[in-house]
Amino acid sequence: MSTKASRFSARLMLAPAVILLLGWMLVPLTLTLIFSFQRFLPLRGGFQGWVGFENYARFVSSSAFWPAIQATVIIVGGVLLITVILGILLAILLDQPMWGQGIVRILVIAPFFVMPTVSGLVWKNMFMDPNNGLLSHLWRYFGADPVIWLSDASMLSIILIVSWQWLPFATLILLTAIQSLDSEQLEAAEMDGAPVLSRFWHIILPHLSRAVTIVILIQTIFLLAIFAEIFVTTQGSFGTRTLTYLIFQRVLESQNVGLGSAGGIYAVILANIFALLLMRIVGKNLDR
């Protein structure tokens, strides 16, 4: 790939993909930007002129804004915590030689293939339903009052559902990372007198640090945008209204496209800040 001709043909062949991706990204982004500076109420008079930064100011000053940010942070943070910790433990477990390893690994990955809407509904109706859910049966079996999950422990419920979905992803990445650990390093540590826990702390965990950063980075970007799980369960009530959900409500429920678009731009900026921050950390880790 070094001659002029081959570079040119490489660009030519890449062009369709690049143009498609750029269009895919740029057209909606530009439209959102344009809408965000307009007063645009499709069902109540449509386009009503340019308003400058008024939408941006209104979105932030709304009483729903800070609670939404808080909910987003709690959900993202909670899911990250659960998936990373359980992911590491599961990865170590799955790395042990055992009978039926292949099947177990596929089963562990399975939740990742379930669509968010479906998993939300399954959890809502089969597990968390106060009357017929498996969890309420379990609670009653032990003589306790069933928890009304989605209203009394709404935040925890959402975090559980989303964690269940993303745990396989974390486990998979961490498992491959563990498998790449040189077994001689563990043996050397064993000879050096490190007991099991020290080996985990001093050898395995540092080895996993890069994989953990990557899991956090990728998951954060996706978790900032979770929507279906909230839509099919709490519909944003009981304190589970995230930034994404707030934008959805502004655009579709209040039919205020301008205001929602301004929120969308905020979300884009927020996601980018996160991405940049995390990329830096990953970059630092990769430098070593």
Partner 1 sequence: MGQIVLEQVTKRFGDVTVIPPLNLTIEDGEFAVFVGPSGCGKSTLLRLIAGLEDVTSGEIRIDGKPSATIPPAKRGLAMVFQSYALYPHMTVRKNIAFPLRMAGLDKAEQDRRVTQAAEVLNLTDYLERRPGQLSGGQRQRVAIGRAIVREPAAFLFDEPLSNLDAALRVGMRLEISELHKRLKTTMIYVTHDQVEAMTMADKIVVLRAGHIEQVGSPLELYRAPRNLFVAGFIGSPKMNLITGPEAAKHDATTIGIRPEHISISASEGRWPGVVGVSEHLGSDTFFHVQNTGLGESVTVRADGEVGFKYGDQIYLTPRADMIHRFDAEGLRIA
Q: Are 162 and 223 in contact (CB under 8 A)?
A: yes
Distance of CA 266 to the CA centre of its chain: 18
Residue with tokens 């660009």: 11
At its nearest, how many Å lie between partner 1 and the CB of residue 199? 10
Q: How far apart are CA 245 and CA 250, in angstroms?
A: 9
Cα–Cα nearest to 245, from 32, 69, 10: 69
Q: How far is the CB of 128 from partner 1 (least distance, A)?
A: 42
Cβ 96 to partner 1, closest distance in Å? 17
Query: Which of these, 28, 66, 75, lies nearest to 220 by C-alpha position?
Result: 75
Q: DSSP 3-state assignment of 45?
A: coil
The residue (of 63 and 183) whose beta carbon lies closer to partner 1 is 183
The smaller minimum CB distance to partner 1, of residues 101 and 198, is found at: 198
Cβ nearer to partner 1, comparing 49 with 206? 206
Residue numbers of the site for partner 1 (CB under 8 A)? 182, 184-185, 187-194, 198, 202-203, 206-207, 209, 288
Pick the closer one to partner 1 by CB: 145 or 184: 184
| Neighbour tally for 120: CB within 10 Å | 24
CB of 194 to partner 1, least distance (A): 5
